[in-house]
Amino acid sequence: MASLPNGAAAAAAAAGSSGGRPVDKEVDFANYFCTYGYLYHQKEMLCDRVRMDAYHSSVFRNAPHFEGKVVLDVGTGSGILAIWSAQAGARKVYAVEATNMAEHARELARANGVADIVEVIQGTVEDVELPEKVDVIISEWMGYFLLRESMFDSVICARDRWLKPDGVMYPSHARMWLAPIRTGLGDKKMEDLDIAMDDWNLFVQDTQAYYGVNMNALTKAYRAEHEKYYLKSSIWNNLHPNQVIGQPAVIKEIDCLTATVDEIREVRAQVMLPISLEGARLSALAGWFDVHFRGSAQNPAVEEVELNTAPDEQGGTHWGQQVFLLTPPVKVSKGDSVNVSFSMVRSKENHRLMDMEFTYELHEFSGRKHPAITTKMYLE
């Protein structure tokens, strides 16, 4: 046999916790939390300057939200947000972390002289017990395309259990965006798919010739598996702004102070994306997010801070954007628009991954409407 080295297994697909069934905690730990137990991965996030600058500014430019206050950091990782909260004047910071990274967070709080303020608690925020309610919940919970990982569920749980009525969420708001783009990624993937199928066909011939077994019955299934892998799986990319060929649209807005799990379990939107570039090739849609730190109506921010993961000339974030290929690409012109119906639900096999469906329909400036095309996409 020889399966791929450890868990490339799960790199192919993670199973165990379905959308409907309750989540198997052991499976979830094996597949999800364990990633965050590595300093290598923590460092990757700590090196994301856009991310770091936004959280740093949000805390230190809004010190009144922290001075003398009680803070809860959900998923503290190496503890950076908890340490900043303490440095900004918090009286007490509860820093909750499920993985063994908790030990490192404790060590770091000590090394930075805030061990008396930052209390690191190893456990899930769903299970943790705090001795008091908190003034601020801070968390960096955003996954690819905002909702991958479904970690905001835990933030909602923390908020409902521990935030004071006049408490503040950091960040306070989040939005998902969709935009029409041009990219050569799809051409490469189509070529890879062709190569894979040519290779399969040779394999079918060889297996018949050398081993007397006809494998052709599986050709269709092999193609389907590979189409999913090459064409229907969203692709991580840091796009250049000039690849965006039309106007992005917001497809979801979340108020972190009031959102419920039911509100984020599914995302459905219908948007019209106007094309702004003459003679472009629409080859994909791209998705990204931004979050804002605005405080709350009762406790507004001194200075509002934004963390934006849109395509950016200065270079991107570790989130990049998610590219959803449209194959084959469509020739479009300025004045055309693309009507997109979008839905995203959690994968049945793993509630932290997403299954999407796009229906898109080109409306030419001339009035001509192209037939609608529907395609499934997977964010894994």
**Active site (catalytic) residues:** 140, 149
CB of 280 to a copy of itself, least distance (A): 28
89 forms part of the interface with a copy of itself (CB under 8 A): no
| 241: Cα separation from own chain's centroid | 20
50 forms part of the interface with a copy of itself (CB under 8 A): no
80 forms part of the interface with a copy of itself (CB under 8 A): yes
Q: Which of 50, 63, 64, 87: binder of a copy of itself (CB under 8 A)?
A: 87
8 forms part of the interface with a copy of itself (CB under 8 A): yes
| 245 backbone dihedrals φ, ψ, rounded to 5° | -105, 10
115 forms part of the interface with a copy of itself (CB under 8 A): no
Q: Which of 32, 230, 293, 358: binder of a copy of itself (CB under 8 A)?
A: 32
CB of 80 to a copy of itself, least distance (A): 6
Q: Which of 50, 64, 107, 357: binder of a copy of itself (CB under 8 A)?
A: 107
Residues 6+ apart with CB under 8 A from 183: 237, 239, 243, 283, 284, 323
Residues 6+ apart with CB under 8 A from 127: none
Size of the site for a copy of itself (CB under 8 A): 81
Q: Which of 19, 34, 238, 308: binder of a copy of itself (CB under 8 A)?
A: 34
216 forms part of the interface with a copy of itself (CB under 8 A): yes
CB of 303 to a copy of itself, least distance (A): 18
CB of 165 to a copy of itself, least distance (A): 28
Residues in 155-214 that interact with a copy of itself by CB under 8 A: 200, 203, 207, 210-214
